[in-house]
Every structure is written in C-alpha cells, then in structure tokens.
Structure 1
C-alpha cells in the first residue's frame, strides 16, 4: 500500500533535517527540481511572495530574516524550485550563503553546492557578484546569534552592527533586497535563556569557538508518537521578497555611505514586515524588534 502524501511529506523533511544537522558537486538544476522538494514545501507549507520586479540586468544582495532554527523558508525558496523562484524571478540565479566551515565536510559540501549554496566568505561572494548580472546572493544577516531568538511568536532580527552585507552591495553596485520569512520561528519550540544569563553566555561562547550556536529545540518525531523530536512542526511559512533598494557602485565605500544604506535597508525591512504581517497571520499589534 503506498504511503499517504502526508507521510511522504514528513519523510522528505526528515531526510533534509538529517542532512542539515548531521551530514552536512557543483550547482545542479536537476537536483533543485527534485520532486522531493515539492513534498518538503507542502509539509509546512511554504510559499514565495513577490512584491516587485528584480530585473536580471542587475545583481542583488538579499538579506534573509529571521534565521530561525534551520532556515526552512530560505532553503525552499532559494535552493530549490519547489516555490518557483526561476518562474517568479526569470533570469535570476539565487545562491544561499551558509557557514563556511560546513563546506569542509566532504559529503555535505557536494550536497550543499549542488543546490546552489555557497560559503559566506568574501572570496565566494566576490566571485559571484563579479560574474556578471543576474545573481541574487542571499545572506541570512542575523546569523547564528539570531537563531537563539527563534521561538514561536518571536519577531526579532539582529541588524545593529551588521553592516558587512551593505558594504558588499556597495562594492559591487548590487541592489539590496529585504526578505522576511513569516512563520519561520513557529516550526520548532525552543528553550530560551534570557540575555545575560549563564546559559546564554555559554551559548554565545560556544558560537565564538565553533561558529554556530547550540540551540535547545524540539519539534515532533517522524511518527507523531512524541512531541520532542527533530522533525519540525507543520506551520505555514511565507517568504516575502521586498522591493530592491538601488545601490551605486563604490569600490571603497565610506562609513557614512555604509551607514546611509544600512538605515535605508532597516526602514525597508520594517515596512515589508508591517505591510505583510496581517496577510501572513500576525495580529496588527505585532511589532518587529530590530536589535
């Protein structure tokens, strides 16, 4: 007897989570179009929303928020064709950046590269943005620290002091684009330690040593027999891609220029959140906290 579609969806997400957490080619459109990613999409489900044209005559630096535990929305939207990225933004090639250290793992490295992921380092990013127009580099700006805020109901992003992605955009004249994944923080429960607590200090110290933060989280198991498993909860995720912010090319941008475009980006992200929060299931009183 064939497995029910819900069970197939759970298995598709389970294999992705195992790969992301434990196992870790070149970019492959064939792999990005695997049918398994459609099951992965439908499990939550995940939807990609376009708010403006992104002409392929330009390069783009997309800031993705929030990180959440496992970046499910960003993966589906930018590493697969399950949500229709190539159809929605014709001519663009998306590349999601990931912790550079993970690319030292032999099997995991090929798996990530074949789906279009690249190390989040200057060499890789410069290579992409110098390769002509039509590249959309996706950076999860809040990084590992932001994952510690990834509990249900939390709408907090880490942006203050994070200006490297703006400097990168200026150096290459790539337009900045805010992206918000509504529902990303709802797919796992997380044990959160307050700011300044011993538990939080230990998490941040571990992050400084290893590059990622050890989150205490749980979802469900494959057979729904218990609550505390590694399979995420089936909560809808809507990845909203905002309007591009035109950025001039400045090979050596000044701090004033970086601050100016960083402020424009923060304003655009907040506007994107406020405009779409109602249609994505959040109450009108919900505020985006930027720290």
Structure 2
C-alpha cells in the first residue's frame, strides 16, 4: 500500500501567485465540451494552494493499492458532501502530486457548475468537461485518465446516516463506456467529507414533486445544516466545509475483460456493475473500520 506523504507548506509568494492565477482565469468563460480548455500551467500555479488545503485543512490521507495504469483508464469514485465536494479536490490534488499536471486527465462534471461565475472557468482549466458519453469517449481516446462520480447528486446528497454507502442509482453509462473503449476501471473510495455538513434527507420525493429532474437536472432537494447558510432547504448550493479529515483509497484496477459488444448486453453490464460496486463497498467498510476520517478521526 502506497500512502502519499505530506509536502512542505508553500511559501506566501506561491500562495499569492495561486490566488492571482484564480483571479486571472476567472475572467474567462467556461467551455464545457472543449478538451483543450484544460490548462496545465494554471494547474501548476494553483497546486501549492490546493496542496495546503489538502495537507493542513482536510488532512488528506490518500492510499494506493498499486500504481495507476500507464494508459487511459476510467476512475470511478463515490461522492460526498453535497456540492461542496471536498473529496473531488483531494482526488485531483493527489493525482497531480503523483503524476504532475502534464499527465492528461479529465473529470466528467454536471453542467450546472460551468454556469457559476468564475468557478466554471477554474474547473474547466483543471480538466473538468461536461458529463456525457461522447466527452468521456473523446478524453479516453486521447489516452487520458478520466474521473467520474456516477452517483452524482444522488450520492453527494445522501443523508448523513447513509454516508458509508454507494448510491449510483440506475446509472450504468460508465460501465458501458469502459467496455466500449476497452479501458480498465480504477475504483476510488473516500470517507470523511460527508461529515463537513449534516444532511437529514436528500429530499428526492420533494424533488420529483417539484419536477426538478426535468427543470434543473436535479434528483434531490436536500434538507440539512451547513455553513454558512445554517439551514439547507431544498437547494444544494455549495457550503463552507468543516475541517474534516478525508481518507481515500485508490483500489486495484479492474480489467473487465469483456468484448466491446458486451456494452449492449444489459446482463453483462449489470454483472460488471455489481462487481465494481461490491469492490467499492468492501473498500468503504475497510475505511470505516479504520476510523481515520471525519471531525474526530482515530489514530
């Protein structure tokens, strides 16, 4: 098991330069379907600040069961903490520390953040592209590592009581994509970020009543508590996460070993899906038992 070490705290000049890079990039616009919007120079400039948050605020502990594949692969992760998404930033920072900003990598993202002023351009420059099978295919065809959170809002907005579960719903597109493109799946499990707020219910029934799936591509209308808003009522807006410790494990790659035509076979897809989720649930159980995460980590 490889554990990423802490890095020295960045100098004040590097932090100031990272803030300046964010300010400059925020003047541009997001291009959700443009793979060339990814900017390795921008990533290199902001990495010291992200690294500071990684080491000192979230106290991230990232473990790898083995090194990542050299070629293209699909990284599949559970999701936590509503739209604050500290787990996503930690995954990105760990990858860049291991392989540098120059190694081609993308993340498939819901289209809503692309419309948030400044944030869309920042995420786009870090490699975020709109979540679609075509964009995933194009990124893998370039030989990239591609990160996807199949559960999306269902997983990120699950109740706090369900924080150690995988909620991918009926979403199987990532399995079909991996089979069609013949790439391995790298499962990632993470715990801790969901304790950065409290979610009583995901409000999925309320969301259906309000027709949010059709109107806003949102399957949830969560109820809970988070900083700085206090009470969250139905709108999963980003929050200021508490300084929780995040523990992540990158599991061994899964080579599905299926012919490409199996992507059109629902039974084959379902068996592959069950295999992936079972491995992730076992990994989550191990991290939960270790207890090195959340507001009050053990050890």
Q: TM-score, normalised by structure 1?
A: 0.73
SS in 2 for 1:32: helix
Q: Secondary structure at the match of 2:138?
A: helix
Q: Deviations over 1:128-148 (max 9, x none)?
A: 11113xx22111111112233
Change (3 A) 1:26 1:193: closer
Q: 1:261-276 to 2 correspondence within 5 Å?
A: 261-276=272-287
Gaps of 5+ in 1: 283-291
Task: Work out whether 1:59 is the aligned partner of 2:72.
Answer: yes
The equivalent of 1:219 in structure 2 is 226
Structure 1 residue 184 displacement after superposition: 1.8
The alignment status of 1:37 with 2:50, answered yes or no, reads yes
Q: Does 1:141 align with 2:147?
A: no
Equivalence for 1:241: 250
Deviation at 1:126, TM superposition (A): 0.9
Counterpart in 2 of 1:111?
A: 122
2:159/2:202 contact within 8 Å kept: no
Q: Secondary structure at the match of 1:178?
A: strand
**Unpaired stretches in structure 2, ≥5 consecutive residues:** 1-11, 233-238, 294-299
State which drifts further: 59-68 or 246-255. Answer: 246-255
Distance 1:152 1:160, change over 3 A: closer
Residues 209 and 119 of structure 1: CA distance in aligned 2, closer, same or farther (over 3 Å): same
Which residue matches 1:289? none
C-alpha spacing 1:208/1:147, structure 2 compared with 1 (3 Å): farther
In 1, Cα distance between equivalents of 2:51 and 2:73: 26
Change (3 A) 1:154 1:109: closer
8 Å CA contact 1:188, 1:233 repeated in 2: yes
Give 2:191's match in structure 1, choosing from 172, 182, 185. 182
Quote the residue 2:292 is aligned against: 281
- In structure 2, the CA distance between the partners of 1:200 and 1:279, relative to structure 1 (3 Å rule), is same
Question: For the Cα contact (< 8 Å) 1:73–1:238, is it kept in 2?
Answer: no
- TM-superposed deviation, 1:127: 0.5
1:207 alignment counterpart: 213
Looking at structure 1, the residues matched to 89 and 281 of structure 2 have their Cα atoms a distance apart, in angstroms, of: 22
- Shift of the alpha carbon at 1:101? 4.6
Q: Could you tell me how far apart the structure 2 residues matched to 1:98 and 1:280 are?
A: 29
Is residue 52 of structure 2 the alignment partner of residue 46 of structure 1? no
Q: 1:241/1:252 Cα in 2 relative to 1: closer, same or farther (>3 Å)?
A: same
- Cα drift, residue 209 of structure 1: 1.8
Cα contact 2:157–2:222 (8 A) shared by 1 = yes
1:278, distance to aligned residue in structure 2 (A):
2.5
1:150 and 1:179 mapped to 2: Cα distance?
20
TM, length-normalised to structure 2: 0.71
SS in 2 for 1:95: strand
Distance 1:279 1:30 in 2: 37
CA distance in 1, matches of 2:217, 2:203: 21
Taking the aligned partners of 1:200 and 1:146, their CA distance within structure 2 comes to 15
- 8 Å Cα contact 2:133-2:173 kept in structure 1: no
The question of whether the paired residues in 2 share the 8 Å contact of 1:74 and 1:181 is answered with no
